[in-house]
Structure 1
Amino acid sequence: MENCDVKLSIPVGVSACLLGHKVRYDGGHKRSKYCLNVLSECFDLKPFCPEVAIGLTTPREPIRLVGSAEAPRVVGVKDPSLDVTDRLADYADQVSQAEQDLCGYILMQGSPSCGMERVKVYHENGMPNVAGSGVYAARIMKNNPALPVEEDGRLNDAVLRENFITRVFVYYNWQQEVMSEPTLHKVIQFHSRHKYQLMAHSYEGYKQLGKYLADEASKQPLTDVLQKYILDLMTFLSKKADRKSHTNVLMHIMGYLKKEIDSETKQDLLDAIEQYRTNKVHLVVPLSLLKHYLKRHGSDYIKSQAYLDPYPHELGLRNYI
């Protein structure tokens, strides 16, 4: 995995323990090599530890979720009278208000404060109950429903890793290209540039958002359009793209070259796409070939598609999917 040549100023929140900060209940950390060695070169990683922020010491008594998955309390393991639920939720509200520039968030899995999902929830008697989300994480996600959020452990999965980083860059581009001085025209331009990226994740989403912008958006207040569009877009993009959906997009993009390339070149492209579809090569192979011919023969519209270069190539993400 290569590093980015130039550090970008994309602000991304991260659980402080993942950056090597010794803030865990046992005085240790959960240092993430991927966050520190790769993502720190591309993102401005901002560390947060809600337990320390609300005044708990390091080391400290461990805490856990108790009650229901929908509304668990965060209490001490040894001393259940220690209840920090409201303090954690309040701190999440403070972060949401103060850090509105965040374009993503990487959480520590399994944490009763920061776990995104599958966090153990216990009965009052200490027996395991169900699984839920950490209280701080749940409030962060509720306050910022469009924000790309992922857990560190899930970043070990190549598809989930690529999906998360794609969403961070889309969200960052949205803030830069549209929200700096929003207009409906800018939303439509943004959508036009991200159409094939959306298609790779959700063909239904591709159709729905296109229809919404064409038929309804001009009749609604701009603030409503902005809120609906980005939430729907980020929700659709959170669906995992697979070989079938990527193949569909590659074939659509290749359609823009049909009149400009000879039959031999066309067959080379079709062969590369078929090798990808049948799991013989990674996505980078047909995509690199396609981009080579688009550079020579593609229209400005198709060459501007975010799908072709969704993030710095140094990340090498499409070498693994």
Structure 2
Amino acid sequence: MINEPGTAGEQAVRPRVAVSACLLGEPVRYNGGHSRDRFLTDVLGPYVDWVPVCPEMEAGLGTPRETLRQERSEEGPRLVTRTTRMDLTGRMTGLAARRAAELDVDGYVFKAKSPTCGIHGVPVYRPDGAPAERRSKGLFSGIVMERHPLLPVEDEGRLHDPLLRESFVERVFAHARLRALVEGDWRPRDLISFHARHKMQLLAHDPVLYREAGRVVAAAGARPREEVAARYTETFRRTLATKAATGKNVNVLQHCLGMLDLDPVRRADVVDVIDAYQAGLVPLSVPTTLLRHHARGEAAAYVRDQTYFSPYPDALRLRHHVPR
């Protein structure tokens, strides 16, 4: 049985997050340096278990090393060293395939613009060194993303955007909670409880997929355990991969308000705050904090225990940006 939401036990579920090792400060860059990212190491680091990966080091290139780039070819982009023209495509794709096959994490943060690890905007050159003709993914990251299409993935550059940062962290912690469930000795009642606690969070992303996940839960007692876990995991992750928009959040906030027994004055106050959020005047943290404050007592337990109100540790303070 997994821990109930809001308890110290559930907050103790630590996501496993793969990360380009240089972003944690490891001296594995081509020049022997690193690209330490303070959000990852100082802010997110205390709440996750990192799985550092450096494809270049694992491929035996060492550091310092000759720089790499992607070049155009008839077979697709090739990974070559800039000066000696060594072709490392086969070595890197083989490593990526092996790594992807054994990968068991809740998210991945790649090094931006790297020819091996970038997730977008990686230049592809002509063999004569002419400027990039198009943009691509890294050779290593592209294979990982292809094999794990629902894995939360970002690079450190995109995580500077507060909306992308919150979305990534929310998905990572949700994946970790589900992993803690399915890796344990769960029963249909545990899955029912898990789905119920995540109702508002899932509705904020995709109501249609939320209902699809509910149908999987409803059949849990009549289907093989492994089949149910696989189907629910896939649907749960697809739901969270859909962007949560302001309108969906407003619907969820109003739904939660309708389940609380408040006097007319307090109800009007909450409505005003929800309207302010919808108008882009206050961040999502304002109405969610107010609703959580009012969700007191046994009658409001269902609302209070929704993961929507605390999808990750509150100390990360990720909901303080206004909608756009």
Note the alpha carbon deviations across 1:4-40, whole angstroms, 9 max, x for none. xx98643211111111222112222211011111111
Q: Is the 8 A contact 2:71 2:124 kept in 1?
A: yes
The answer as to 2:238 corresponding to 1:235 is: yes
Deviation string 1:146-193 (CA, Å, 9 cap, x unpaired) is 322111111111111111111111111011122222444433332222
> Is 1:122 the equivalent of 2:128?
no
Equivalent positions of 1:155-174 (< 5 A) are 155-174=159-178
For residues 208 and 135 of structure 1, the distance between their equivalents in structure 2, rounded to whole angstroms, comes to 35
Q: Confirm or deny: 8 A CA contact 1:198 1:237 kept in the other structure.
A: yes
Residues 7, 43 of structure 1: 8 Å contact kept: no
- Other-structure match for 1:111: 114
Q: Which residue of 1 aligns with 2:201?
A: 197
Name the % identity: 37
Matches within 5 A, 1:73-88: 73-80=78-85, 82-88=86-92
Query: Would the aligned equivalents of 2:29 and 2:64 in 1 still touch at CA under 8 Å?
Result: yes
> How far apart, in 2, do the equivalents of 1:149 and 1:123 lie?
28
Distance in structure 2 (CA, Å) of the matches to 1:267 and 1:70: 63
> Map of 1:1-321 to 2, 5 A cutoff?
9-67=14-72, 71-80=76-85, 82-100=86-104, 102-127=105-130, 128-214=132-218, 221-257=224-260, 260-296=261-297, 298-321=299-322
- Ranges in structure 1 where 5+ consecutive residues have no aligned partner: 1-5
Tell me which amino acid in the other structure corresponds to 1:157: D
Change (3 A) 1:200 1:99: same
Q: C-alpha distance in 1, partners of 2:12/2:29?
A: 28
In 2: Cα distance, 1:145 partner to 1:197 partner: 21
Q: Distance in 1 between matches of 2:147 and 2:73?
A: 21
In structure 2, what is the Cα distance between the partners aligned to 1:157 and 1:307? 21
Question: 3-state DSSP class of the match of 2:257?
Answer: helix
Normalising by structure 1, what TM-score? Answer: 0.87
Aligned residue type for 1:303: R
- What TM-score, normalized by structure 2, do the two folds share? 0.87
Give the direction of change, closer, same or farther, for the CA distance of 1:165–1:106 in structure 2 (3 Å limit): same
- The structural deviation recorded for 1:221 is 4.2
Does the CA-based 8 Å contact 2:216-2:231 persist in structure 1? no
Give yes or no for contact 2:295–2:301 (8 Å, CA) kept in 1. Answer: no
> Over aligned residues, Cα RMSD in angstroms?
2.5
Count of aligned residue pairs for this structure pair: 311
Unaligned runs of 5+ residues in structure 2 are: 1-10
Matching residue's letter, 2:241:
S
Gap change, CA 1:269 and 1:169, over 3 Å in 2: same
